[in-house]
Amino acid sequence: MKPLKQQKIAVLYGGTSAEREVSLNSGRAVLQALKNQGFDVHGVDPQQVGLEQLKVQGFERVFNILHGRGGEDGTVQGVLEFLGIPYTGCGVLASSLTMDKMRTKMLWKGFGLPVAEMEVVNKADFAAFDATKIVEKLGLPLMVKPSLEGSSVGLTKVKRLEALQSAVELAFQYDETVLVEAWLAGDEYSVPVLDGEVLPSIRIVPKGEFYDYDAKYISDDTQYFCPSGLSEAREQELKQLVKQAYESTGCRGWSRVDVMTDSEGRFNLVEINTAPGMTSHSLFPMAAKARGYDFEQLVVKILELSV
């Protein structure tokens, strides 16, 4: 096979999901980094160009930085497998599984890994929805989220029983399945994994009540701490948990695992992102920098891990 710098490489970005704008920003940064490093790289937006054109136009490898449905859920991965084009990130199964928060958490529970207690609400059964019963079981406040969205799209913190139904209805605008989870009142951490190595954890301190879309991509008031301030023993405990979460779902290449502590300081797994953001506000580059990678080195490393 030709050396990477002699291959024609597509950066897949944009797409049609609710995370399109974030993906465009990530893609532009990745494109520039690879161009700076001397790669023959071109941006391809699946909203405008059919993926079958990748083969027609002679692309030999793909850096996939599509976020959300259609790009992070196994769909694009399956097309690229069929076309025989190597690509960055997780394969079909891990991508599909981790996009589904409900099934990911059920798998983690099966492995004995800690997750917040939750109730699953399906749109088809919403007529029988009993907010009182859920609050009696899980308490207040609660976190309501669509099962198949990322970037905190459709999330609501529910503080009152009367607000739970409308929060679920909002989440139904994005998915047929909604998770209602017990509130995790402790700190939030994001922990990248690169080529099987768990990178330094990042502690996230949003200005608001939780790390929502605005805090992730717009606000300059969100604080990030890397190193996170954990003791060495706690950092190792977190790394071990993240490694188990990553390996149990079959991830490869690069992914980011989000973790929160409860009111007693116990770590709980939240979700895995298999195509993490690479914007100016993104966390993966921050942890990689603490490990010794600058942004361009990180992008090249991810490309080198493509299969």
| pLDDT by position in tens, the chain (length 307) | 899 999 999 999 999 998 899 999 999 999 999 999 999 999 999 999 999 999 999 999 999 999 988 999 999 999 999 999 999 999 999 999 999 999 999 999 999 999 999 999 999 999 999 999 999 999 999 999 999 865 567 899 999 999 999 999 999 999 999 999 999 999 999 999 999 999 999 999 987 665 555 555 555 678 999 999 999 999 999 999 999 999 999 999 999 999 999 999 999 999 999 999 998 779 999 999 999 999 999 999 999 999 9
What's the pTM value of the predicted model, to 2 decimals?
A: 0.92
**Which burial class, exposed, middle or buried, applies to 8 when counting CB atoms under 10 A from its CB (0-12, 13-18, 19+)?**
middle
214 among the known binding-site residues? no
CA angle 103, 109, 114 (to 5 degrees): 120
271 among the known binding-site residues? yes
Q: At what angle do helices 131-138 and 161-172 cross, to 10 degrees?
A: 110
Element (H, E) at 197: strand 197-198
CA dist 143 → 20, 90, 133, 210, 214 (Å)? 24, 28, 15, 10, 17
Task: Give the bridge partners for 8, in sequence order.
Answer: 40
Structural domain boundaries of the chain? 4-88, 97-113+185-304, 118-182
CATH number assigned to the domain covering 97-113+185-304? 3.30.470.20
CA atoms lying within 13 Å on the CB side of residue 290: 17
C-alpha torsion angle, residues 292, 294, 295, 301 (rounded to 10):
-60
73 among the known binding-site residues? no
Task: Give the bridge partners for 225, in sequence order.
Answer: 203
Homologous superfamily in CATH for domain 118-182: ATP-grasp fold, A domain (3.30.1490.20)
Instruction: Provide the annotated active-site residues.
Output: 19, 151, 282
CATH 3.50.50.60 is the classification of domain 4-88: no
